[in-house]
């Protein structure tokens, strides 16, 4: 077995579960795992643990493709041809940049998924909107307030994400 050189070793990153940052983003727990700082901006991966029926506003990313890999529960997606497409554990979907999309976690059971973006940086958007989580789970009794709504709008402006509709508004086929 070839031994790693010091240069190669210094590029490795190990992130243990106990070391993850815990953020509440719109009531969901987000844990950045692989950050854009670790990958020179090329990639980002975070774990999302959603509350029941979690749903972001219909939105569109200008700068990054998003990949969702479902670990637990079910999540329904609306985007382009994916009009109400429900995915479960082991299923994956690519949301290319410039494709308006939204999704909703099951109203019956919490869901967990990995969200990845290329290029990286989406974790910076999450941090700009989120607050530090007090425990590692979805935020109990969360509701949108004016302060969160303002942080969301400011972060969308800063990170080239366009909000197209309020949560719960899905226009049907061909979003």
pLDDT tens for the 175 residues of the chain, in order: 444 444 445 678 899 999 999 999 999 999 999 999 999 999 999 999 999 999 999 999 999 999 999 999 999 999 987 789 999 999 999 999 999 999 999 999 999 999 999 999 999 999 999 999 999 999 999 999 999 999 999 999 999 999 998 766 664 444 4
pLDDT value for 80: 81
Q: Among all chains, which residue has been given the structure tokens 């302060």?
A: 147
Task: Count how many domains the chain has.
Answer: 1
pLDDT value for 93: 96
65-72 and 161-163 beta bridge pairing? unpaired
Q: Is residue 60 part of a domain?
A: yes
Q: What's this model's pTM, rounded to 2 decimal places?
A: 0.88
| Alpha-carbon distance values, 158 to 56, 122, 125 (Å) | 18, 11, 8
Q: Is residue 108 part of a domain?
A: yes
Handedness of CA 133, 134, 135, 139 (dihedral sign): negative
What domain range includes position 35? 24-136+143-163
Q: How far, in Å, CA of 48 to CA of 51, rounded? A: 10
Structure tokens at 39: 């990958």
Strand partners, 48: 30, 113
**109: which DSSP letter?**
S
Structure tokens at 150: 């303002």
CA atoms within 13 A on the CB side of 120: 17
Q: Is residue 8 part of a domain?
A: no
Q: The CATH number of the domain where 132 resides is what? A: 2.60.120.10
Contact 167, 55 (CB under 8 A): yes
Q: Is residue 120 part of a domain?
A: yes
Contact 60, 81 (CB under 8 A): no
pLDDT value for 72: 98
pLDDT value for 173: 40
pLDDT value for 172: 46
Rg (CA), the chain: 17
Q: Is residue 174 part of a domain?
A: no
Q: Is residue 100 part of a domain?
A: yes
pLDDT value for 82: 79
């Amino acid at each position: 077995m070839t031994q790693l050189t010091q240069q190669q070793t210094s590029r490795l990153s190990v992130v243990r579960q106990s070391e993850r940052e815990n953020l509440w983003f719109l009531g969901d727990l987000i844990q950045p795992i692989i950050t854009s700082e670790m990958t020179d901006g090329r990639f980002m991966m975070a774990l999302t643990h959603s509350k029941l029926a979690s749903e972001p506003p219909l939105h569109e990313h200008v700068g990054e493709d998003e990949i969702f890999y479902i670990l637990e529960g079910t999540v329904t997606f609306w985007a382009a041809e994916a009009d109400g497409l429900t995915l479960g554990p082991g299923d994956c979907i690519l949301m290319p940049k410039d494709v308006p999309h939204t999704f909703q976690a099951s109203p019956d059971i919490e869901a967990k998924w990995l969200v990845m973006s290329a290029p990286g940086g989406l974790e910076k958007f999450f941090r700009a909107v989120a607050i530090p989580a007090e425990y590692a789970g979805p935020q109990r009794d969360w509701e949108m307030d004016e302060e969160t709504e303002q942080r969301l709008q400011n972060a969308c402006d800063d990170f080239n994400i366009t909000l197209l509709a309020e949560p719960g508004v899905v226009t049907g086929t061909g979003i």
